[in-house]
Protein backbone atom coordinates (compact mmCIF):
# COMPACT_ATOMS: atom_id res chain seq x y z
CA UNK A 1 0.00 0.00 0.00
CA UNK A 2 1.06 3.61 -0.35
CA UNK A 3 0.28 7.09 0.87
CA UNK A 4 -1.33 9.40 -1.69
CA UNK A 5 -0.71 13.07 -0.93
CA UNK A 6 0.25 16.35 -2.55
CA UNK A 7 2.47 17.14 0.43
CA UNK A 8 6.16 17.19 -0.53
CA UNK A 9 8.46 14.58 0.95
CA UNK A 10 11.20 16.43 2.87
CA UNK A 11 14.48 15.37 4.45
CA UNK A 12 16.56 16.38 7.43
CA UNK A 13 19.41 17.21 7.52
CA UNK A 14 19.34 18.63 4.01
CA UNK A 15 22.44 19.38 1.90
CA UNK A 16 24.30 16.94 4.14
CA UNK A 17 25.47 13.33 4.27
CA UNK A 18 23.31 12.93 7.40
CA UNK A 19 23.97 12.75 11.12
CA UNK A 20 26.41 10.10 12.31
CA UNK A 21 25.16 7.41 14.69
CA UNK A 22 27.53 4.99 16.38
CA UNK A 23 27.23 1.77 18.38
CA UNK A 24 30.65 1.19 19.94
CA UNK A 25 29.57 -1.93 21.89
CA UNK A 26 27.67 -4.96 20.59
CA UNK A 27 23.98 -5.16 21.64
CA UNK A 28 24.20 -1.81 23.46
CA UNK A 29 22.65 1.47 22.34
CA UNK A 30 24.97 4.31 21.45
CA UNK A 31 24.41 7.91 22.50
CA UNK A 32 21.43 9.97 21.35
CA UNK A 33 22.25 12.31 18.44
CA UNK A 34 20.10 15.31 17.57
CA UNK A 35 18.52 15.16 14.10
CA UNK A 36 16.24 18.23 14.30
CA UNK A 37 16.27 20.93 16.99
CA UNK A 38 12.64 21.96 16.58
CA UNK A 39 9.99 20.57 14.23
CA UNK A 40 8.47 23.45 12.22
CA UNK A 41 5.05 21.72 12.23
CA UNK A 42 3.52 18.39 13.19
CA UNK A 43 5.66 15.84 11.31
CA UNK A 44 5.03 12.34 10.01
CA UNK A 45 8.16 10.17 9.67
CA UNK A 46 7.96 8.48 6.25
CA UNK A 47 11.33 6.74 6.07
CA UNK A 48 15.07 7.12 6.35
CA UNK A 49 18.23 7.04 4.30
CA UNK A 50 21.00 5.02 5.93
CA UNK A 51 24.61 4.60 4.92
CA UNK A 52 26.10 1.74 6.97
CA UNK A 53 29.69 0.60 7.08
CA UNK A 54 29.12 -3.09 6.39
CA UNK A 55 26.84 -6.12 6.89
CA UNK A 56 24.81 -5.58 10.04
CA UNK A 57 21.53 -6.33 11.81
CA UNK A 58 20.69 -3.07 13.55
CA UNK A 59 17.95 -0.96 15.09
CA UNK A 60 17.60 2.82 14.80
CA UNK A 61 15.51 4.27 17.64
CA UNK A 62 13.86 7.68 17.17
CA UNK A 63 12.74 9.91 20.02
CA UNK A 64 11.32 13.33 20.76
CA UNK A 65 12.16 15.49 23.77
CA UNK A 66 14.93 17.50 25.35
CA UNK A 67 18.41 16.15 26.08
CA UNK A 68 18.24 13.58 28.87
CA UNK A 69 14.45 13.08 28.67
CA UNK A 70 14.10 11.55 25.19
CA UNK A 71 10.77 9.79 24.62
CA UNK A 72 10.89 6.93 22.13
CA UNK A 73 8.55 7.07 19.12
CA UNK A 74 9.76 3.86 17.51
CA UNK A 75 12.50 1.26 17.10
CA UNK A 76 13.16 0.54 13.43
CA UNK A 77 14.89 -2.76 12.63
CA UNK A 78 17.11 -2.87 9.55
CA UNK A 79 19.32 -5.37 7.81
CA UNK A 80 22.06 -4.45 5.35
CA UNK A 81 24.24 -6.31 2.91
CA UNK A 82 26.38 -3.30 2.15
CA UNK A 83 29.88 -4.44 1.19
CA UNK A 84 30.30 -1.30 -0.90
CA UNK A 85 28.91 0.92 1.88
CA UNK A 86 26.18 2.20 -0.44
CA UNK A 87 23.17 4.14 0.93
CA UNK A 88 19.93 2.31 1.73
CA UNK A 89 16.55 4.04 1.39
CA UNK A 90 13.93 2.53 3.71
CA UNK A 91 10.38 3.86 3.20
CA UNK A 92 8.07 2.88 6.06
CA UNK A 93 4.85 1.07 5.10
CA UNK A 94 2.88 3.45 7.36
CA UNK A 95 4.15 6.97 8.21
CA UNK A 96 4.61 7.53 11.95
CA UNK A 97 2.48 10.44 13.19
CA UNK A 98 4.15 11.11 16.55
CA UNK A 99 6.10 14.38 16.24
CA UNK A 100 4.23 17.48 17.48
CA UNK A 101 5.27 20.92 16.27
CA UNK A 102 8.28 22.26 18.17
CA UNK A 103 9.61 18.81 19.07
CA UNK A 104 13.30 18.04 19.17
CA UNK A 105 14.04 14.78 17.26
CA UNK A 106 16.99 12.55 18.11
CA UNK A 107 18.19 9.08 17.15
CA UNK A 108 20.46 6.34 18.46
CA UNK A 109 21.79 3.02 17.18
CA UNK A 110 22.18 -0.55 18.39
CA UNK A 111 23.76 -3.36 16.35
CA UNK A 112 24.67 -7.04 16.59
CA UNK A 113 28.35 -6.22 16.11
CA UNK A 114 30.65 -3.67 17.72
CA UNK A 115 32.24 -0.53 16.29
CA UNK A 116 29.50 0.28 13.80
CA UNK A 117 28.71 3.75 12.48
CA UNK A 118 26.18 4.95 9.94
CA UNK A 119 24.84 8.20 8.60
CA UNK A 120 21.10 8.88 8.99
CA UNK A 121 18.78 11.19 7.07
CA UNK A 122 15.08 11.28 7.97
CA UNK A 123 12.35 11.51 5.33
CA UNK A 124 9.17 13.20 6.52
CA UNK A 125 5.97 15.07 5.72
CA UNK A 126 4.68 18.22 7.37
CA UNK A 127 1.00 18.10 8.42
CA UNK A 128 0.23 15.09 6.23
CA UNK A 129 -3.43 15.13 5.24
CA UNK A 130 -4.04 11.40 5.10
CA UNK A 131 -5.82 8.80 7.20
CA UNK A 132 -3.07 6.35 6.31
CA UNK A 133 -0.69 7.01 9.19
CA UNK A 134 -0.11 5.57 12.64
CA UNK A 135 0.56 7.12 16.04
CA UNK A 136 1.91 4.01 17.78
CA UNK A 137 5.56 3.02 17.86
CA UNK A 138 7.25 0.52 15.55
CA UNK A 139 9.01 -2.31 17.37
CA UNK A 140 10.92 -5.54 16.69
CA UNK A 141 10.71 -9.13 17.96
CA UNK A 142 12.90 -10.62 19.32
CA UNK A 143 14.70 -7.71 20.95
CA UNK A 144 17.68 -10.02 21.51
CA UNK A 145 19.54 -11.40 19.72
CA UNK A 146 19.30 -8.57 17.21
CA UNK A 147 20.00 -10.94 14.32
CA UNK A 148 16.75 -12.75 15.14
CA UNK A 149 15.38 -16.26 15.61
CA UNK A 150 17.47 -18.90 13.82
CA UNK A 151 16.06 -21.64 11.58
CA UNK A 152 18.15 -24.24 9.71
CA UNK A 153 17.24 -24.86 6.06
CA UNK A 154 16.60 -28.31 4.62
CA UNK A 155 19.07 -29.91 2.22
CA UNK A 156 16.09 -31.11 0.14
CA UNK A 157 15.04 -28.54 -2.44
CA UNK A 158 11.82 -26.71 -1.47
CA UNK A 159 11.18 -28.87 1.57
CA UNK A 160 9.58 -27.04 4.50
CA UNK A 161 11.26 -27.15 7.88
CA UNK A 162 9.59 -27.05 11.30
CA UNK A 163 8.21 -23.69 12.37
CA UNK A 164 10.28 -21.48 14.69
CA UNK A 165 8.48 -19.20 17.16
CA UNK A 166 8.99 -15.44 16.82
CA UNK A 167 6.70 -14.53 19.73
CA UNK A 168 4.25 -16.32 22.00
CA UNK A 169 1.92 -13.38 21.39
CA UNK A 170 1.68 -9.62 21.76
CA UNK A 171 -0.30 -8.24 24.70
CA UNK A 172 -2.37 -6.01 22.36
CA UNK A 173 -3.72 -6.18 18.80
CA UNK A 174 -0.75 -5.63 16.50
CA UNK A 175 0.07 -4.86 12.87
CA UNK A 176 2.69 -7.12 11.29
CA UNK A 177 4.71 -4.83 9.01
CA UNK A 178 7.67 -6.83 7.75
CA UNK A 179 10.80 -8.79 8.61
CA UNK A 180 14.55 -8.59 8.43
CA UNK A 181 16.46 -11.73 7.43
CA UNK A 182 20.08 -12.71 7.94
CA UNK A 183 21.00 -15.55 5.57
CA UNK A 184 23.91 -17.96 5.51
CA UNK A 185 23.83 -20.10 2.36
CA UNK A 186 26.63 -21.73 0.37
CA UNK A 187 25.51 -19.95 -2.81
CA UNK A 188 22.82 -17.53 -3.95
CA UNK A 189 19.56 -19.37 -4.47
CA UNK A 190 15.77 -18.89 -4.39
CA UNK A 191 13.78 -19.12 -1.18
CA UNK A 192 10.49 -18.40 0.58
CA UNK A 193 9.42 -17.55 4.12
CA UNK A 194 5.94 -18.26 5.58
CA UNK A 195 4.63 -16.17 8.48
CA UNK A 196 1.98 -17.99 10.50
CA UNK A 197 -0.20 -17.78 13.61
CA UNK A 198 -1.40 -20.60 15.82
CA UNK A 199 -0.17 -23.09 18.38
CA UNK A 200 2.70 -25.45 17.62
CA UNK A 201 1.55 -28.08 15.14
CA UNK A 202 -1.55 -26.08 14.15
CA UNK A 203 0.04 -23.09 12.42
CA UNK A 204 -2.03 -21.17 9.85
CA UNK A 205 -0.05 -19.35 7.15
CA UNK A 206 -0.78 -15.61 7.05
CA UNK A 207 1.43 -14.68 4.13
CA UNK A 208 4.42 -15.90 2.12
CA UNK A 209 7.41 -13.75 1.21
CA UNK A 210 9.77 -14.49 -1.66
CA UNK A 211 13.22 -14.05 -0.14
CA UNK A 212 16.23 -14.81 -2.34
CA UNK A 213 18.81 -16.66 -0.24
CA UNK A 214 22.32 -15.24 -0.23
CA UNK A 215 25.75 -16.01 1.12
CA UNK A 216 25.92 -14.02 4.36
CA UNK A 217 23.14 -11.79 3.07
CA UNK A 218 21.01 -9.45 5.18
CA UNK A 219 17.80 -7.93 3.91
CA UNK A 220 14.60 -6.14 4.90
CA UNK A 221 11.21 -7.13 3.51
CA UNK A 222 8.02 -5.12 4.07
CA UNK A 223 4.62 -6.79 3.77
CA UNK A 224 2.54 -5.35 0.90
CA UNK A 225 0.08 -4.07 3.52
CA UNK A 226 -0.01 -4.12 7.35
CA UNK A 227 -1.41 -7.44 8.57
CA UNK A 228 -3.46 -7.15 11.78
CA UNK A 229 -3.13 -9.94 14.35
CA UNK A 230 -5.12 -10.17 17.57
CA UNK A 231 -3.56 -10.08 21.03
CA UNK A 232 -1.97 -13.21 22.50
CA UNK A 233 -1.63 -15.06 19.19
CA UNK A 234 1.55 -17.07 18.70
CA UNK A 235 3.51 -16.00 15.59
CA UNK A 236 6.06 -18.24 13.91
CA UNK A 237 7.86 -18.71 10.62
CA UNK A 238 9.20 -21.49 8.41
CA UNK A 239 11.34 -21.46 5.28
CA UNK A 240 12.16 -23.44 2.16
CA UNK A 241 14.67 -22.94 -0.60
CA UNK A 242 16.34 -24.45 -3.64
CA UNK A 243 19.31 -25.29 -1.40
CA UNK A 244 20.60 -28.88 -1.64
CA UNK A 245 24.06 -28.43 -0.10
CA UNK A 246 25.08 -28.57 3.55
CA UNK A 247 22.34 -27.23 5.80
CA UNK A 248 22.24 -23.44 5.94
CA UNK A 249 20.13 -21.03 7.94
CA UNK A 250 17.92 -17.98 8.20
CA UNK A 251 17.66 -15.57 11.13
CA UNK A 252 14.44 -13.55 11.20
CA UNK A 253 13.28 -10.45 13.09
CA UNK A 254 9.59 -9.48 13.02
CA UNK A 255 8.74 -5.76 12.59
CA UNK A 256 5.41 -4.66 14.05
CA UNK A 257 3.40 -1.84 15.65
CA UNK A 258 0.43 -1.86 18.05
CA UNK A 259 -2.97 -1.15 16.51
CA UNK A 260 -4.13 2.33 17.67
CA UNK A 261 -7.10 2.34 20.05
CA UNK A 262 -10.19 3.32 18.07
CA UNK A 263 -11.65 6.59 19.25
CA UNK A 264 -8.32 7.79 20.60
CA UNK A 265 -8.23 10.70 18.16
CA UNK A 266 -5.20 9.24 16.40
CA UNK A 267 -6.68 10.05 13.00
CA UNK A 268 -5.93 6.61 11.65
CA UNK A 269 -8.06 4.72 9.15
CA UNK A 270 -6.93 1.21 8.34
CA UNK A 271 -8.03 -2.39 7.92
CA UNK A 272 -8.43 -4.30 11.17
CA UNK A 273 -9.06 -7.98 11.81
CA UNK A 274 -7.23 -11.23 11.26
CA UNK A 275 -7.68 -14.45 9.34
CA UNK A 276 -11.35 -14.53 10.35
CA UNK A 277 -12.18 -11.31 8.52
CA UNK A 278 -11.49 -7.59 8.50
CA UNK A 279 -13.23 -4.22 8.52
CA UNK A 280 -12.23 -0.63 7.70
CA UNK A 281 -12.18 1.69 10.72
CA UNK A 282 -11.37 5.37 11.21
Q: What is the pLDDT of residue 267?
A: 42
pTM of the model: 0.82
Same domain, 152 and 131: no
Distances in Å between the alpha carbon of 267 and those of 77, 127, 230?
25, 12, 21
Q: What is the pLDDT of residue 71?
A: 96
Domain membership flag for residue 21: yes
User: Within a 10 A sphere around the Cβ of 279, how many other Cβ atoms?
Assistant: 7
Domain membership flag for residue 243: yes
Distances in Å between the alpha carbon of 135 and those of 7, 74, 109, 131?
19, 10, 22, 11
Where in the sequence is the domain holding 60, given as residue range(s)? Answer: 10-137
Q: What is the pLDDT of residue 275?
A: 39
Domain membership flag for residue 268: no
| CATH code for the domain in which residue 244 is found | 2.60.120.680
Domain membership flag for residue 105: yes
Give, for all 282 residues of the chain, the pLDDT tens digit: 456 677 899 999 987 889 999 988 888 899 999 999 999 999 999 999 988 766 667 889 999 999 999 999 999 987 665 554 566 788 888 899 999 999 999 999 998 777 778 899 999 999 887 777 888 889 999 887 777 899 998 889 999 999 999 999 999 999 999 998 887 777 778 889 999 999 999 999 999 998 877 766 677 888 888 899 999 999 999 999 888 887 788 889 999 999 986 444 444 444 344 433 333 333
Q: What is the pLDDT of residue 85?
A: 54
Q: What is the pLDDT of residue 272?
A: 40
Domain membership flag for residue 274: no
User: Within a 10 A sphere around the Cβ of 135, how many other Cβ atoms?
Assistant: 18
User: 260, 136 in Cβ contact below 8 A?
Assistant: yes
Q: What is the pLDDT of residue 2?
A: 53
Domain membership flag for residue 277: no
Counting the structural domains of the chain, the total is 2
CA 67 – CA 99 distance, rounded (Å): 16
Which of 137, 168, 194 finishes a domain? Answer: 137
Same domain, 253 and 157: yes
Same domain, 67 and 96: yes
Domain membership flag for residue 270: no
C-alpha closest to that of 134 among 18, 14, 260, 256:
260
Domain membership flag for residue 4: no
| CATH code for the domain in which residue 83 is found | 2.60.120
Q: What is the pLDDT of residue 191?
A: 87
Q: What is the pLDDT of residue 273?
A: 41
Amino acid sequence: MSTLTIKPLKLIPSASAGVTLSAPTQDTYGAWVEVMASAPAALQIAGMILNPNGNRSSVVELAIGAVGVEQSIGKFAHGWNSISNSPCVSMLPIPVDAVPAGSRISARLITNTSLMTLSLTLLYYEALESDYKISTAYGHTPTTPLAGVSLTASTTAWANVTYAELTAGFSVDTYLLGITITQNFAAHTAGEIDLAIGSAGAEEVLTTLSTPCRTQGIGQYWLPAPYPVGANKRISFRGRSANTTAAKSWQVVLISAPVPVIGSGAGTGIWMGDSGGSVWVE
